[in-house]
A and B are shown apart, each in its own frame.
Chain A
Amino acid sequence: MKLKNILSIATIATLLAACGQHLTVPSDAKMEARLPKIYPDYTEVTIPANICPMNFIVQEGESEVRARFTFPGGEYIYGEEQKILIDETQWQEMLDSAKGQEIKVEVFAKVGGTWKGYQPFNFYVAEDSIDEYISYRAIQPSYVAYERLSINQRNLTNFEVKEIYNNMSVSNEKIGQCINCHSYKNYKTDNMLFHMRQGYGGTMLVTNGQLKKIDLKTDETLSAGVYPSWHPTHNYIAFSTNKTGQSFHTKDLNKIEVQDTESDLILYDVDKNEVSIISELDDELEVFPTWSPDGKKLYFCSAHFEYYNDSIEKSAEMIQRYDEVKYSLYSVDFDPDTKEFSNVEMVYDAASDSINQSVTLPRVSPDGRYILFAQAAFGCFHVWHADADIFMMDLQTKEVQKLDAVNSDRSESYPSWSSNGRWIMVDSRRDDGNYTRPYIAYFDKNGKAHKPFMLPQKDPNFYTFYLRSFNRPEFMIEPVTISPQEFATKAKEDAIPAKYADR
């Protein structure tokens, strides 16, 4: 009886509190002829029809804020201290109603006891939806040490985040493990992989839902597989193999250089567990393989670099000449049935005297028309290069354009396409120069990229306190269903050594 009373009182109190939460916008607000300062900057962005609520902070005033969302079906008002936290059901209603149209947002803030209103802005709701999931490696801005690393998957239609794998599930003080380069075949997770280095090292490979642990290092190759790309139609994976080093700028704001002293390309035949060489030219640093959607071309980057100082180690010479390394974009034809590569072609001579730049991380659009890449003055690790921007080549016209709408004055790297080709995602350090965050931009049917928006979070203050980078954000159309514990169990097993096959 007592409990019943308590529950009744609690229910009434909740209802009263809910009634008290009915918000209005001030009618006497003094209007400012400018957009409000909000974080993240979501003003005038185009958003997918299935994205989670675009919560934000109003960086105006000190105490109270309001935001009125007007959509074809009505309006909603929000405001909680400085935050605009949108109800998920109402947001879905807004998206459904405004598909192909816009949601108008009017922001009001109490500044020094007076309400001010700001120029309204719109969320343009695209007809196109976005892949439901992305995955990324959560990592502190990398130097040498590593401790807790995880590959996470985030549902873009809500705020759910789950760990795919966490290295601490197998690591301890004696056995540290680094994880990297998660990758999926055709945006699906029944064929996927990621690498583990150091303790329990190997490549975790899921093929047709079956989990295996493979050792891709052979006596004939430089290293185990590093940067991967799944062949879209056959059971092959192209990898780069790299000898990588790291050094530190004493003052430059780029802070770190990561360089390959050597790198080649290999092909891994999943069914046969065989590794073969694609390219291992002496004075070429080949890296970042990526398949065309039909699987008949492999794009990759390569830098021509000749070591000429025999008195010092290659790594030392590379440190001295780090800014001379410039990668251009190439392609090579591939016959999936015979596994034969032929006809290497220069696609974009970025390293030429006239351009004098370095391109990395190419990704072909799902329709095969465009190729995105990151470009900066030199090197292969553009996440640490503030001048790095996203460029796009139209593979029909060979015209290259800088995606101004997507870029900032800080590093942009790791571009990727959604499975329908209507959304591109880039890793950007525009926020503060140190922590990479995923930005998503609409890519319309005319080949135009729109203003990107930062991955929304339930608490818009999330990014202030989250001292990790979102590394290698990748789209997925479904979640990874193998549990972190299953990965951990497999990780502790011995890796199956891959065989080397002469070509």
Chain B
Amino acid sequence: MSKKNNHRRDVSVETKKPPLSQKTTQESQKEKKTINITKGTSLCIAIVATVMVAVLGAYYLVVRNSDMLFMAQSKDFFSSDPMFMGECMHSPGGFLTWAGSFLTQFFYHPKWGSAIMIGIWIISMWMSKLVFRVKMAWMALLAIPVVCLLVSTIGTGYWLYYNKQAGYWFYGTIGYLISILLVLFNAAFRKKTDRIITILLIACTYPFFGWYTLLALVYVAMLTLSRMKKYDSPITKILLPVIPLVLVGVVPPLFYNLYSGIRIEDVWTAGFPIFANGDMISFYPSIPFIVLSAVPLLFPFLPKKVENSTGMTCAVFLVTIVVMVLSWLWVEKSDFQAYNYHAEMRMYRAAEEQDWDKVLDEMGNIPGDASREMVVLKNIALTNKGEMGTKMFKYNNMGEPPTNGFDTLRVHMVQTAAPLIYYYHGKTNFALRWAIENSVEFGYDYDNLKILARCALLSGEMEMAKRYLDILRTTLFYRDWADHLMPITKNPELIKKYPEFKNVRELRDHMGTVLDGDNGLCEMYLITYFSQTMNKDSKLLQEMTLDYSLIQKDIQLFWPRFYLYAQMHQGEPMPIHYQEAAMLYGNLEPESADISTMPFQDEVRKSYEGFHQMSQSLLQAGLSAEDVGEAMKGTYGNTFYWFYFFCRDVHSY
């Protein structure tokens, strides 16, 4: 390093005043001396900091958040079509949107995406070391911005579904690297005029990098300030740091006239993630980006000389350890590990892939109450396996609304899963509606495009289906999926040969059409619609109407659907939950049906009697209804009786 400095001095010997970046021979020799002494330790610290970033990244991204990363990419979109690039460039920072979306698609394989992300972080760290000429001893400090990026990736919680920044998952990562590279570009020049020209050129990158161009300008100002020498002229001292700062204020409004789709007050923050939904703005998920932006301002001012004294060594180690520990604590605290949040994503993916066993395995493993979305997905899985009548109450049907904990974001099923849920209920118009509504609000994504293509295929709108499939064919990881379905667009009859459409087709084909609306409550709508529907033509649809009448807990709706089920399944055993419902309703309202001649299984008779006796004795013992339910859950939690009496206060959302 010292040799390099000497060489630099030699080649610029014609300048009377040493350039900003140049050191005197004495300074250089002194530095050489001290650095040589601490080189081994510094290198160790740098390696440890780098390894920390890699390990934290690998652990928190791959091990703990693979399911989330897969969902993140499915809610994003990148197309190789040039029109997509044009769309991205409609806002300042358009290149980062485009590049962010490009790299986000690699989370289709979370390990690949994570490796790319961690790779960029490590490059950013070392580039910032180079740009700001930070000693290796302070390398842990250089890791702070990338730790922020890790936190911003794993700490969004349910904002994952509500984030409107396309390419978000790599936007900051690439943005930070770009801002460092822009500073490097400026620092590579020594002449004042060159540096001013490069500052102006950096400012011109605003349309491509938005917020990160402005950050780069601020970093340039700080770097310039840190390198001021006593013998610099007053003009240099004032002009070089002031120009980039003035440009930060001036450039965004200058470019404002290029954009018709941004508010003037937002031009300075174009590309900075704002987490807002309706009236609610969440500050918490923006914190990493604030820290990320602020911390590099200090880098140019870090001590350039790390003397080989005990005090300094202690300071360096202390800083390194404190930064590493705090980083880990922050990452750990920010990692959104609500069980249902991740399980819901795994269930959604399994449902999307029609891996019904996996959906049910996930549901069976939930430690507490599920979310309503999980309950609905479980029911879809059971319906497709033909096991609703025998297993629907063997799972926990209590459902709680999802929350972030760190803010008051209200999560709605129509935004997280309604298109898929409606699709599997054969309600393709509503699936399509919510896929479009969500695309309008949050941008088209792979997930919605797949739903749109499927719905169009099912409704026979082949040109429409072809359009969506053509778009998916321009993507990296959904091309095969689109190719697989494309033949149907040429020969609609082929859809009958695709097993994945079998049940949905049957439901859709046997459903009537009405003018309707769900008022944004997907689950409530489905319960009402199916529990009030009667159908004699499709066993699948008929059973679904019976299932939903059980969920609705409506005795009057139950009996006609129960009898119809019995008629349509003559000679087949009556599923246990339907027997339980008949037993309970026949006893609760004997006038509604005569169950005396019904051939209940002994198991059902015994469980009903046991349930009745136990509940009566517990109530007589003075327990509250809630406590009775809790006490009986272990023995009878898998029966319709328990569901009927104790599965209450369920808030659909």
A434: which of B81, B430, B461, B508 is its contact (CB, 8 Å)? B461
State A434–B461 Cα separation when bound (angstroms).
9
Chain B residues in 8 Å Cβ range of A465: 79, 81, 83-84, 471, 474
State A169–B266 Cα separation when bound (angstroms).
9
Chain A residues in 8 Å Cβ range of B461: 253, 432-434
Chain B residues in 8 Å Cβ range of A483: 257, 260
For residue B54, give the distance in angstroms from its CB to the closest CB of chain A: 36
Chain B residue at minimal CB-CB distance from A141:
B436
Q: Provided the pairs A247-B515, A249-B514 are in contact, do residues A145 and B441 lie with their beta carbons within 8 angstroms?
A: yes
Q: Is B622 an interface residue, CB under 8 A from the partner?
A: no
Contact in complex: B277, A173 (CB < 8 Å): yes
State A140–B517 Cα separation when bound (angstroms).
19
Stretch in contact with the other chain, from B31-39, B236-244, B462-470, B582-590: B462-470
Q: Is B432 an interface residue, CB under 8 A from the partner?
A: yes
State A144–B433 Cα separation when bound (angstroms).
9
Contact in complex: A248, B429 (CB < 8 Å): yes
Chain A residue at minimal CB-CB distance from B471:
A465
For residue B450, give the distance in angstroms from its CB to the closest CB of chain A: 14
Contact in complex: A488, B264 (CB < 8 Å): yes
Chain B residue at minimal CB-CB distance from A461:
B81
The interface residues of chain A, by DSSP majority, are classed as loop
A140: which of B279, B439, B513 is its contact (CB, 8 Å)? B439
Q: Is B44 an interface residue, CB under 8 A from the partner?
A: no
For residue A439, give the distance in angstroms from its CB to the closest CB of chain B: 15
State A485–B258 Cα separation when bound (angstroms).
9
For residue A126, give the distance in angstroms from its CB to the closest CB of chain B: 29
What 0/1 readout, one digit per residue, does chain A (141-165) give for beta carbons within 8 Å of chain B?
A: 1011111101000000000000101
Interface residue tally of chain A, by bracket?
35 or more
Q: Is B440 an interface residue, CB under 8 A from the partner?
A: yes
Within 8 A of B (CB), among A443-464: 459, 461-462, 464
Chain B residue at minimal CB-CB distance from A140:
B440
Contact in complex: B463, A248 (CB < 8 Å): no
What 0/1 readout, one digit per residue, does chain B (249-265) give for beta carbons within 8 Å of chain A?
A: 00000001100111110
For residue B309, give the distance in angstroms from its CB to the closest CB of chain A: 50
Q: Is B444 an interface residue, CB under 8 A from the partner?
A: yes
Q: Is B601 an interface residue, CB under 8 A from the partner?
A: no
Q: Is A5 an interface residue, CB under 8 A from the partner?
A: no
- Max count, chain A CB within 10 A of own CB: residue among B278, B281, B436, B512: B436
Contact in complex: B433, A163 (CB < 8 Å): no
Q: Is B346 an interface residue, CB under 8 A from the partner?
A: no
B464: which of A143, A434, A461 is its contact (CB, 8 Å)? A434
Contact in complex: A248, B517 (CB < 8 Å): yes
Chain B residues in 8 Å Cβ range of A168: 261-263
The A-B contact count (CB < 8 A) is 125
B261: which of A144, A169, A319 is its contact (CB, 8 Å)? A169
Contact in complex: B471, A464 (CB < 8 Å): yes
State A465–B471 Cα separation when bound (angstroms).
6
B256: which of A144, A467, A485 is its contact (CB, 8 Å)? A485
Q: Is A197 an interface residue, CB under 8 A from the partner?
A: no
Q: Is A484 an interface residue, CB under 8 A from the partner?
A: yes
Q: Is B617 an interface residue, CB under 8 A from the partner?
A: no
Contact in complex: A146, B463 (CB < 8 Å): no
Chain A residue at minimal CB-CB distance from B518:
A248
Contact in complex: B260, A249 (CB < 8 Å): no
A250: which of B264, B279, B466, B516 is its contact (CB, 8 Å)? B516
For residue B8, give the distance in angstroms from its CB to the closest CB of chain A: 24
Q: Is A503 an interface residue, CB under 8 A from the partner?
A: no
For residue A459, give the distance in angstroms from its CB to the closest CB of chain B: 7
For residue A322, give the distance in angstroms from its CB to the closest CB of chain B: 6
Chain A residues in 8 Å Cβ range of B278: 173-174
Chain A residue at minimal CB-CB distance from B256:
A485
For residue B101, give the distance in angstroms from its CB to the closest CB of chain A: 14
Within 8 A of B (CB), among A368-424: none
Chain A residue at minimal CB-CB distance from B512:
A251
Q: Is B427 an interface residue, CB under 8 A from the partner?
A: yes
State A163–B260 Cα separation when bound (angstroms).
7
Chain A residue at minimal CB-CB distance from B443:
A147
For residue B430, give the distance in angstroms from its CB to the closest CB of chain A: 7
Contact in complex: A172, B276 (CB < 8 Å): yes
A464: which of B279, B428, B467 is its contact (CB, 8 Å)? B467
Q: Is B352 an interface residue, CB under 8 A from the partner?
A: no
B463: which of A170, A249, A431, A462 is its contact (CB, 8 Å)? A431
Q: Is B511 an interface residue, CB under 8 A from the partner?
A: yes
What 0/1 readout, one digit per residue, does chain B (438-467) give for beta carbons within 8 Å of chain A?
A: 111100100000000000000101011011
Q: Is B437 an interface residue, CB under 8 A from the partner?
A: yes
B511: which of A145, A169, A250, A255 is its contact (CB, 8 Å)? A250
Chain A residues in 8 Å Cβ range of B466: 432
For residue A258, give the distance in angstroms from its CB to the closest CB of chain B: 11
State A118–B276 Cα separation when bound (angstroms).
56
Chain B residues in 8 Å Cβ range of A466: 83
Contact in complex: A250, B437 (CB < 8 Å): no
- Max count, chain A CB within 10 A of own CB: residue among B263, B279, B470: B263
Q: Is A257 an interface residue, CB under 8 A from the partner?
A: yes
Q: Is A166 an interface residue, CB under 8 A from the partner?
A: yes
State A261–B10 Cα separation when bound (angstroms).
86
State A144–B439 Cα separation when bound (angstroms).
12
Contact in complex: A464, B508 (CB < 8 Å): no
Q: Is A252 an interface residue, CB under 8 A from the partner?
A: yes
Within 8 A of B (CB), among A241-264: 247-253, 255, 257
Contact in complex: A322, B513 (CB < 8 Å): no
State A484–B279 Cα separation when bound (angstroms).
26
Contact in complex: A251, B511 (CB < 8 Å): yes
What 0/1 readout, one digit per residue, does chain A (467-503) give for beta carbons within 8 Å of chain B?
A: 1000000000000000111001000000000000000
Contact in complex: B436, A143 (CB < 8 Å): yes
What 0/1 readout, one digit per residue, does chain A (306-324) give for beta carbons within 8 Å of chain B?
A: 0000000000000100100
For residue A291, give the distance in angstroms from its CB to the closest CB of chain B: 31
Chain A residue at minimal CB-CB distance from B278:
A173
Chain B residue at minimal CB-CB distance from A146:
B440
Contact in complex: B83, A144 (CB < 8 Å): no
For residue B546, give the distance in angstroms from its CB to the closest CB of chain A: 20
Contact in complex: A170, B429 (CB < 8 Å): no
A485: which of B260, B459, B529 is its contact (CB, 8 Å)? B260
Within 8 A of B (CB), among A210-254: 247-253
State A459–B85 Cα separation when bound (angstroms).
14
What 0/1 readout, one digit per residue, does chain B (605-647) give for beta carbons within 8 Å of chain A?
A: 0000000000000000000000000000000000000000000
Within 8 A of B (CB), among A102-151: 140-141, 143-148, 150
Chain B residues in 8 Å Cβ range of A250: 427, 429-430, 511-516, 529
State A147–B276 Cα separation when bound (angstroms).
14
Q: Provided the pairs A150-B261, A485-B260 are in contact, do residues A255 and B433 lie with their beta carbons within 8 angstroms?
A: yes
Chain B residues in 8 Å Cβ range of A165: 260
State A462–B529 Cα separation when bound (angstroms).
40
Chain A residues in 8 Å Cβ range of B429: 248-252, 255
For residue A316, give the distance in angstroms from its CB to the closest CB of chain B: 11
State A461–B326 Cα separation when bound (angstroms).
52
For residue B330, give the distance in angstroms from its CB to the closest CB of chain A: 27
State A433–B474 Cα separation when bound (angstroms).
22
Contact in complex: A145, B440 (CB < 8 Å): yes
Contact in complex: A150, B83 (CB < 8 Å): no
Chain B residues in 8 Å Cβ range of A163: 260-261
Q: Contact residues of B with A, CB < 8 Å?
A: 79, 81-84, 164, 256-257, 260-264, 266, 274, 276-279, 281, 427-430, 432-433, 436-441, 444, 459, 461, 463-464, 466-467, 470-471, 474, 508, 511-517, 529
By Cβ-Cβ distance, the 8 closest A-B pairs, closest first, are: A484-B260, A173-B276, A251-B513, A432-B463, A168-B261, A166-B261, A163-B260, A432-B464
Starting from the known contacts A459-B83, A485-B257, 5 additional A-B residue pairs (CB-CB under 8 Å) come to A165-B260, A169-B263, A174-B278, A250-B512, A251-B513
Please name 10 pairs of A and B residues whose Cβ atoms are closer than 8 Å in the assembled complex, sorted by A: A171-B263, A172-B263, A173-B274, A247-B517, A248-B430, A248-B517, A250-B529, A251-B508, A433-B464, A459-B82
